[in-house]
Structure 1
Amino acid sequence: MLKTLRDITQAVAAADDLSSALSLLVRQTKAAMATQCCSIYILEDNQLVLSATDGLDPRAIGQVKMRLTEGLVGLVAEREEPVNLADAQLHPRFKLFCEVDEEDFRAFLAVPIIYQKLILGVLVVQQADARQFSEAEEAFLMTLAAQLAMTVREQRKKAEVKSAPDKSVYAGLSAADGVVIANAMVIGGDIALEQSDTLANDITAELALLDNALITCRNALSVQSQRFDGENEKEVQSIFSALLLLLDDSSLGGEYSREIQAGWSAVSAVSRVSLRYIDQFLQMQDPYLQERASDIRDLGQRVLRELIEPQKMHIELDVPVILVTKEATVTMLAEFPEHKLVGIVTELGGVNSHAAILARAFGVPAVIGVEGILNAGIDGKLTILNGSRGQVIVSPTLTLIEEYRSHIAAEKALQDRYAQELALPAITLDHTRVHLYLNAGLLSSLASEIAEGADGIGLYRTEIPFMLQSRFPSEMEQTEVYRQVLEAAVDKPVVMRTLDVGGDKPLSYFPIIEDNPFLGWRGIRLTLDHPELFLVQLRAMLNAAGSSEQLHILLPMVCCLDEIDQAIGYLDQAYLEVKQDIHPALVKPKIGIMLEVPALLFQLEEVAKRVDFISVGSNDLTQYLLAVDRNNPRVSSLYDCYHPGILRALKRARQECDHYQLPVSVCGELAGEPIGVILLVAMGFNQLSMNQGSLAKINYLIRRVSYKDLSELLVQALSQSNGVEVRLLVTEFLTRRQLAEFV
């Protein structure tokens, strides 16, 4: 069966155009299922159009069209679920189209073709004999439709590009997930940072103009900062604090003044200083430092607006909009009234930028690095922003709008359904308990997220507060952050990972320049080389926890036993210091390591003698086992966490941890993906940590499968030759159990 599915999928994907692809699909599906007729209907302009058939009158192709409220095919699309009938003509929704010549067919099986919850069409098989298609036949067709969805979507996109030369779809990088539909609002080009050099007629007057502009800017930043202070957004608030510091006399504010005193007008002074410092930052090799140039540009443009167009900083909106700009800045985003900013699109920027961090804190979908979007003339036009896929669709067709609205509504309905069971424990049908934990970094809404279904915090990324500062946070500052995290979790366990920077997580004030940062100075390697930083962080964690048993400490990027021994030595030192100086009743926390470096897979016996638990970082473990940089587009397609070799490594880790009585969890992306959860639970992992958005869905899924069935599935999965076959296998498994929505 798997070979048949693969053959059909590959043949359709290799077709030259949509018409050829669909013709191949119906012919091969008809042969594979040994039926008398196979047809496919594609959704176009809110109508299902007969697009290919092997068994009906070929002259009806392109001629037979039906609304979603018409016929059995429409019923399948409308309900987004299969219809399997022994005699279709007895069903009240049956509608006969004389053009297709289908009077002789009785048995009817149709399944929806859905791509990311968007209906693309309906795949139908028919037979003259009045009999119901078997469960196996239905599962096969559902699996085939699920696997073909992306291929059909790509073929349709190619056809749309050929027929519509004007570009309407723009691609970028996903900075924050989500899908929204709203009008675009293009801003940022009205005040150019590049101003002409003009000498000052009256230096005193120019200094007064500058002072007024700086006061206005400081007041606006303070108000925006207080908005987050009220919501307990300490990390986001620190961004505004950093910007305020830049306006001080000891920083850019003083540079502006000195430039005026050198004889330039206020406008020219701000322009000259800003451009000079931006150029310096852009010359730096570190991407994070390069992005700090956007902060200087932001402040410069803000001051220039006050100098050139006073009192025009405030944005008043009647309806929510998608912001489209060259480079979104923190202050630009904060100017928007609450709930009026629903999406962000930029030509420049990176996932480490403050604006991207703020977008994720807001829960606003964002796509960055979209080339040519400012020159697309999209201001005021209806736009679909698909943050999950990094896509911007300008002036979409009514059909596409309806597809996305259906997608948004369906997603909300699903989330509502999942949320109804979130308070219930994640227990399989045969009573296997799985504990679900939360991955966290920002403090925003943490208390409510923990209350809504999480068994605790399985991974608190302490590097996030470090990345949002312009210096290393003090011991007192760290203690306060960690205390808030522990309080948000109430009495539930909290696993705090020690500072894990380097690689794709640089610090602006501690640049690390390496040829291969993912194999370089990062994680525990860095902190052990800087015990003064490590001890401060450990003391802050211990001080925050006090006599509570909540705290667990996790060491990242460990590759050898000596690193564990050194880290434990520093923990012992920090423990004695805090116990003597602050908390006499201090409880010593459990200590664990991230299993990310493959070498430790073969030293778990020795590891178990040193630590209390292990947390598997599936992202890096996959990257290192496959020797693939998933951020490198040339090889990212080879990154596959469902590679049988990866699965066997995970199974081995679980078995050895059981043997050495070492508690083990998974905190990588795999733990939040339905297919990944199916396989992990089958291996015996009963502690999974994921993003908050996955908790309800994963809980719902676990409560509808049995550990016994999953164990049998795992045996088959481990015998597959590649990740594609593993996905097909699990997809078929879920389809048979009416859980296809999870794939």
Structure 2
Amino acid sequence: MLNTLRDITQAVAGASSLESALNVLVSQTKLAMQTQCCSIYILEQQHLVLSATDGLASAAINSVKMPLSEGLVGLAAEKEEAVNLADAKSHHRFKFFPEVEEEEYRAFLAVPIIFQKQVVGVIVVQQPQPRQFSENEEAFLMTLAAQLAVVVRSLKNKAAISNVQQQVVFKGTSASKGIAIADAFVLGGEISLVQDERKSSDTEKELQRLKTAMQRCSDIISTLSQRFDREKVDDIASIFSALQLLLNEASLGGEYLREVEQGWQAESAVSRVSMRYIEQFMAMEDPYLKERASDIRELGQKVLRQLIEPDKLDLAPAKPVILVAKEVDATLLAEFPRGKLAGIVTELGGVNAHAAILARALGVPAIVGADQVLAANIDDKKLVLNANSGQLLVDPSDAVLHEYYTLISENQAQQRQFSAELSLPAQTLDGHRIHLYLNAGLLSGLSTDMAEGADGIGLYRTEIPFMLHQRFPSEVEQVHVYKQVLSAARDRPVVMRTLDVGGDKPLPYFPINEDNPFLGWRGIRLSLDHPELFLMQLRAMLTANADSAQLQILLPMVSNLDEIDRTLLYLEQAFSEITEELDRSIPKPKIGVMLEVPSLLFQLEDVAKRVDFVSVGSNDLTQYLLAVDRNNPSVSPLFDSFHPGVLRALKWTITDCNRYQLDASICGELAGEPMGALLLVAMGYQKLSMNQGSIARINYLLRRIDKQSLELLLDKALTLSNGEQVRLLLNEYLNEHDLISILH
């Protein structure tokens, strides 16, 4: 069975068009299941269209259509489950189409083809003799439908792109927010790492060619690194420093040279070394170590390009474009002319990959994980990239383009309207002052961000500098970064979270392989197990803060009181050491813990005896309360911070914090959402920390509402059954107060 499934799937995937793929599918499925008829219906504009058949009248193809509410095929799509009948004609949903000529068929089995929870079509097999298809036959067809869903969806998109009347949408994950409209620039002409393995009789000549190519690459990388150094973008510059290290003779560069010395041609040497190391890294389970394979691939391709096509300029579009590629690297983005890069779309990559980090630093809209986008032949086609919602529209109609141009114009006007009040405090109509803080991780742009309305930095993610290195940063390097952060805050408070890696944020040079990483070795657990690293970070923070009193230290992923007690001992040790080394008194920072593990919510009285403040991490708290991995696309729709259970936990938290006189803030995504901010203020939270792009919007909103009416709204919200009902209630509230536009 497995071989048959594989053969059918590969044959369909290899077809050149949707029509030929569907014809292959029905004929091979009919043969495999030994039935007299197999047909497939594709969902188009809420109607199921007979798109291919082997057994029914061919004249009915593309002419027979039925809504989801009609027929047995519609029943399978509507219920999203198999329909298996011994005698189809006896069922009340049977619909007769004379042109189909299916009078002789009685046995009927229909299975929906579902891609990402959306019905794409229905596959049907039929036989003349009345009988119910067996469990094995039903299981075979269901398995085939599941395997074909991605292929059919991709071919359907490809076919639709040739018809400009039909809207085509690719979905991905937002890596950098924004909206862009431009032509597609599909990156082609890549230098393949797989080169013919050829020996050379002139080793000296090949060594010289390779050294010249390596030097050119080194010059390019060095220029980019210096450019970001000049622009004070240290965290991005470190990416290129890492590539420069790989090129050194003590690293991959030396491996290239040694391969040539063994008699290989320069191209063959680079290819052999690169493929050898890529294979090793790709075999590792950790996703961040796999990203190291991308670094090796990137460097190998750059050296090969200098060997094969020296000085060739590839990135010179005449006008701004949306770059579409399998995967992009940080160097490529840095080389791309800034005025010509309107947006980025990739099939691969994660939101924490180097390219995504650089896209955010450059302010370029980007989505990653846009499955099958390269198979759609979209080069030079007009695109609308909506990175706010993770969508890419191909060849949109004039009406759609007009709507997006209008939206961009309205967003710009709205943002100017919000920004006009940034100098005014976030205070409700009935006089409640709410402090808005900045969530930050990148140094790039931090000074500008801090100048725009933030009361301080409510969460500085120290793991970002760790992630951008190829090793643990030294104490001196950490001091340098932390001083820059404190300086950018301009005497305002800065909450620095200690190293929070593990889960979805492992370090590329510190592999953590676990079956369930979100419940594993992460956050404070890892730090306490490595006191040498933890003490170094605490010392660096204290040293950076020696001449100011801005610093507050936040501990992530705390699940028990012992972790707090042990941390306080290490902090006291670090404080004593730095005081002695500097031979003067230094400020002692406030200490806080993140509330993200539910168990700690029930120990707040004990927590208040040990620390100065808490910061609620609504993202992880929601994840753990609902038992939903928010990075798993199969269950991520269940992740809902507006779930009444989550809201009740947040209300419980602030009530207990007030009871025990424990200062509290919230730093998850919920704080930066207009609806979330309304509920949090109603609960009693007075410190909200969010991304810089949300501060002006939330400030504008809070200055137009009163806390008393929000408290009544919250009382209603806590009685509702699900998050969707909560959103509808909040929509009504915003509409009644003429604030609904703030959501757009």
Same fold by TM-score greater than 0.5: yes
Which amino acid in 1 is paired with 2:594?
M
Q: Classify the secondary structure of the residue corresponding to 2:257.
A: helix
Q: Classify the secondary structure of the residue corresponding to 1:364.
A: coil
After TM superposition, list the pairs within 5 Å mapping 1:97-176 onto structure 2.
Answer: 168-176=168-176
Which amino acid in 2 is paired with 1:575?
F
State the Cα distance separating 1:262 from its structure 2 match.
1.3
Alignment correspondent of 1:437: 437
Cα pair 1:178 1:386 within 8 Å, conserved: yes
Q: Classify the secondary structure of the residue corresponding to 2:304.
A: helix
CA distance in 2, matches of 1:278, 1:528: 33
State the Cα distance separating 1:583 from its structure 2 match.
5.5
Cα pair 1:666 1:685 within 8 Å, conserved: yes
CA distance in 2, matches of 1:210, 1:451: 48
After TM superposition, list the pairs within 5 Å mapping 1:343-358 onto structure 2.
Answer: 343-358=343-358
Q: Is 1:503 matched with 2:468?
A: no
CA distance in 2, matches of 1:637, 1:646: 15
Alignment correspondent of 1:270: 270
Q: Is 1:621 matched with 2:621?
A: yes
Alignment correspondent of 2:420: 420
Summarize deviations over 1:233-288 as a string: whole Å, max 9, x none.
Answer: 11110000000011111111111111111111111111111111111111111001
Summarize deviations over 1:405-433 as a string: whole Å, max 9, x none.
Answer: 11111111111110000111000001100
CA distance in 2, matches of 1:385, 1:400: 12
Which amino acid in 2 is paired with 1:543?
T
Percent identical across equivalent pairs?
61
Alignment correspondent of 2:57: none
Alignment correspondent of 1:664: 664
CA distance in 2, matches of 1:736, 1:412: 24
Q: Is 1:542 matched with 2:552?
A: no
Which amino acid in 2 is paired with 1:558?
V
State the Cα distance separating 1:178 from its structure 2 match.
1.3
State the Cα distance separating 1:167 from its structure 2 match.
7.8
Summarize deviations over 1:345-386 as a string: whole Å, max 9, x none.
Answer: 122222232111111111111122223322322222221112
CA distance in 2, matches of 1:194, 1:183: 31
After TM superposition, list the pairs within 5 Å mapping 1:692-707 onto structure 2.
Answer: 692-707=692-707
Measured at CA, do residues 164 and 397 of structure 1 come closer, stay the same or move farther in structure 2, by a change above 3 Å?
A: closer
Alignment correspondent of 1:10: none
State the Cα distance separating 1:18 from its structure 2 match.
6.7
CA distance in 1, matches of 2:347, 2:583: 51
Alignment correspondent of 2:182: 182
Alignment correspondent of 1:564: 564
State the Cα distance separating 1:217 from its structure 2 match.
0.5
Summarize deviations over 1:121-156 as a string: whole Å, max 9, x none.
Answer: xxxxxxxxxxxxxxxxxxxxxxxxxxxxxxxxxxxx
Q: Is 1:456 matched with 2:456?
A: yes
State the Cα distance separating 1:188 from its structure 2 match.
4.2
Q: Is 1:387 matched with 2:387?
A: yes
After TM superposition, list the pairs within 5 Å mapping 1:466-545 onto structure 2.
Answer: 466-545=466-545
Q: Classify the secondary structure of the residue corresponding to 1:415.
A: helix
CA distance in 2, matches of 1:344, 1:583: 52
| Backbone CA RMSD of aligned residues | 1.8
CA distance in 1, matches of 2:477, 2:321: 36
State the Cα distance separating 1:163 from its structure 2 match.
8.4
Which amino acid in 2 is paired with 1:187?
L
Cα pair 1:543 1:583 within 8 Å, conserved: no
Q: Classify the secondary structure of the residue corresponding to 2:338.
A: coil
Cα pair 1:438 1:458 within 8 Å, conserved: yes
Which amino acid in 1 is paired with 2:530?
H
CA distance in 2, matches of 1:442, 1:565: 30
Which amino acid in 1 is paired with 2:688?
L
Q: Classify the secondary structure of the residue corresponding to 1:664.
A: strand
Alignment correspondent of 2:192: 192
CA distance in 1, matches of 2:542, 2:583: 9
Alignment correspondent of 1:43: none
Which amino acid in 1 is paired with 2:695?
L
Cα pair 2:161 2:394 within 8 Å, conserved: no
Measured at CA, do residues 19 and 382 of structure 1 come closer, stay the same or move farther in structure 2, by a change above 3 Å?
A: closer
Which amino acid in 2 is paired with 1:590?
K
Alignment correspondent of 1:217: 217
Q: Classify the secondary structure of the residue corresponding to 1:607.
A: helix
Unpaired runs of 5+ residues, structure 1, are 1-15, 21-156
State the Cα distance separating 1:401 from its structure 2 match.
1.0
**202-211 vs 177-186, which moves further:** 177-186
Which amino acid in 1 is paired with 2:354?
H
Which amino acid in 2 is paired with 1:591?
I
Q: Classify the secondary structure of the residue corresponding to 2:339.
A: coil
State the Cα distance separating 1:571 from its structure 2 match.
0.5
Alignment correspondent of 1:589: 589
Cα pair 1:629 1:635 within 8 Å, conserved: yes
Measured at CA, do residues 614 and 415 of structure 1 come closer, stay the same or move farther in structure 2, by a change above 3 Å?
A: same
Measured at CA, do residues 424 and 297 of structure 1 come closer, stay the same or move farther in structure 2, by a change above 3 Å?
A: same
CA distance in 2, matches of 1:426, 1:362: 28
Q: Classify the secondary structure of the residue corresponding to 1:339.
A: helix
Cα pair 2:344 2:366 within 8 Å, conserved: yes
Cα pair 2:613 2:663 within 8 Å, conserved: yes
Which amino acid in 1 is paired with 2:667?
C
Alignment correspondent of 1:370: 370
Measured at CA, do residues 166 and 722 of structure 1 come closer, stay the same or move farther in structure 2, by a change above 3 Å?
A: closer
Unpaired runs of 5+ residues, structure 2, are 1-42, 48-156
Cα pair 1:288 1:352 within 8 Å, conserved: no
CA distance in 1, matches of 2:190, 2:456: 48
CA distance in 1, matches of 2:692, 2:170: 29
Alignment correspondent of 2:407: 407
Q: Is 1:292 matched with 2:316?
A: no
Which amino acid in 2 is paired with 1:458?
G
Which amino acid in 1 is paired with 2:713?
L
Which amino acid in 2 is paired with 1:602?
F
CA distance in 1, matches of 2:472, 2:354: 17
Measured at CA, do residues 725 and 333 of structure 1 come closer, stay the same or move farther in structure 2, by a change above 3 Å?
A: same
Measured at CA, do residues 190 and 480 of structure 1 come closer, stay the same or move farther in structure 2, by a change above 3 Å?
A: closer
CA distance in 1, matches of 2:261, 2:434: 68
Cα pair 1:305 1:313 within 8 Å, conserved: no
**396-405 vs 675-684, which moves further:** 396-405
Which amino acid in 1 is paired with 2:660?
Y
State the number of aligned residues: 590
Which amino acid in 1 is paired with 2:584?
P
Q: Classify the secondary structure of the residue corresponding to 2:714.
A: helix
